[in-house]
Structure 1
Amino acid sequence: MTDIRKSTRAFTGWHMTAILVAFFAVIVAVNMLMATIAVRSFGGRVVENSYVASQKFNGWLAQAKAQERLGWRDEVTLNPARHVQMKLNVTGAEMTALAQHPLGRASDISLHLHEAEPGLYVSDRPLPVGRWQVRFDIRHNGGEEHLLREVK
C-alpha cells in the first residue's frame, strides 16, 4: 500500500508541473503560428473608417458591374525585372497605376504603363520585392476602367 502512495505522490509532484508547462507551451506555440500565418497572408485593405467604407460598398459593386459590361479582359504579371505587365484585349489605351503595399508597410508607387506591343502594357519602373496591390486607371475611346489586381 505504501508503494502505491509513494508512486502517486511522485506523479502529482513534478509530473503535473511538466504536464502544465507542456500544455501552455503548446497553446502559446499554436497562437504564435496562427498569428504569423494571419499577418503574412492578409490580403485585405486597411481603411481609416470601416463604417464609411461599408457605406460605399454598394457603389463599388455597381462600378464593378459597369466595368464588366465594357468587356475588357486583362492579365497582370511581373516580368523578370519586376516591371508590372498587363495584357489587355484593348490596344491604344492610356494607363496609369498606383502600387500599394497591402498593409501600408511601404510607400505607394505611382506607375505609368506604355504599350510595348499591341495589347501588352509595361510599367516605367519596377516594384520592390513583396506583395503589392496595383490600382489601374485605364482610358480608351471614351471608356474608363479601374482595376485592382495583386502581384507578388
Structure 2
Amino acid sequence: MASKPHKPFTGKHMAAILVAGFGVVMCVNFYMASRAVSGFHGTVVENSYIASQNFNDWLDKADASKALGWQAHITRDEAEYVTVTASGVPVSAMLTAELRRPIGEREYASLTFEPMGEGRYRSSEPVAQGRWTMRLFIEADGKSWAEESELPR
C-alpha cells in the first residue's frame, strides 16, 4: 500500500486560517454591537454639560418626592387598562404617565387617569401589550411626585 504524500503546512495556510478566524470574530462582534446599539435607547439629552448642571436639582426633586410619603401600586387588567392604587395621596390628585418601550423599536405613549374612588385610578385608554417602562406623575396641592417602574404585564 503506497502512502499518499502529504503537502507541507506553509505560511499561506496559517495566514488563511488567521484571516478566516479573525473575519468570523469581527463579523460576530459587528453584528452584536449593531443589535445592542439599535435596541438601547437610553436617555438622550441635547447637551450633556447642561444636563450635568441640573443633576443636583433632579436629586433634590427626587428627595422631596420621597418625603411626601406617597405610594402607588400599578397593575394592568385583562383589557390592558392600567390601574393605580395610590396611598397617602390627596383626593384632588391628578395622575399622568409616560410610557416607553425599554428595548426594541422606539415606541412611546402617554396616559391620563380617571379616579375610581378610594385611591384607585384607571387609565383612560388601554395600553398595547408587551413590555413597557412607565414613569408615573402625581400632582396635588402644588406638590409633585414621580416614580419610574416596569409596567406589569
TM-score (norm 2): 0.71
Q: Which residue of 2 aligns with 1:60?
A: 58
Aligned-residue offset at 1:122: 1.8
Q: Which runs of 5+ in 2 are unaligned?
A: none
The answer for unaligned runs of 5 or more in structure 1 is none
CA 127–37 in structure 1, closer or farther in 2 if over 3 Å, else same: same
Corresponding position of 2:67: 69
Query: Residues of 2 paired with 1:71 and 1:43: CA distance?
Result: 31
Whether the 8 Å CA contact 2:41–2:106 is kept in 1: the answer is no
Q: Could you tell me how far 1:62 is from its partner in structure 2?
A: 0.2
**Is 1:36 matched up with 2:35?**
yes
**Where does residue 94 of structure 1 map in the other structure?**
94
Distance in 1, matches of 2:130 and 2:48, equals 26
* Worse-superposed segment, 87-96 or 61-70: 87-96
Larger mean CA deviation between 20-29 and 129-138 belongs to 129-138
RMSD of aligned alpha carbons:
3.1
Q: Report the counterpart of residue 20 of structure 1 in structure 2.
A: 19
| 1:75–1:30 CA distance, 2 compared to 1 (3 A) | farther
1:20 Cα deviation after fit: 1.5
Instruction: Provide the secondary structure at the position in 1 that maps to 2:138.
Output: strand
> Structure 1 residues 128, 46: closer, same or farther in 2, change over 3 A?
farther
Aligned to 2:76: 78
Identify, as 1 or 2, the structure richer in helix.
1
The offset of 1:80, in angstroms, is: 3.5
Task: Report the equivalent of 1:7.
Answer: 8
Aligned-residue sequence identity (percent) comes to 30
SS of equivalent residue, structure 1 residue 27: helix
TM-score, structure 1 length as denominator?
0.72
Is the Cα contact below 8 Å between 2:99 and 2:135 reproduced in 1?
A: yes
Q: Secondary structure at the match of 1:24?
A: helix
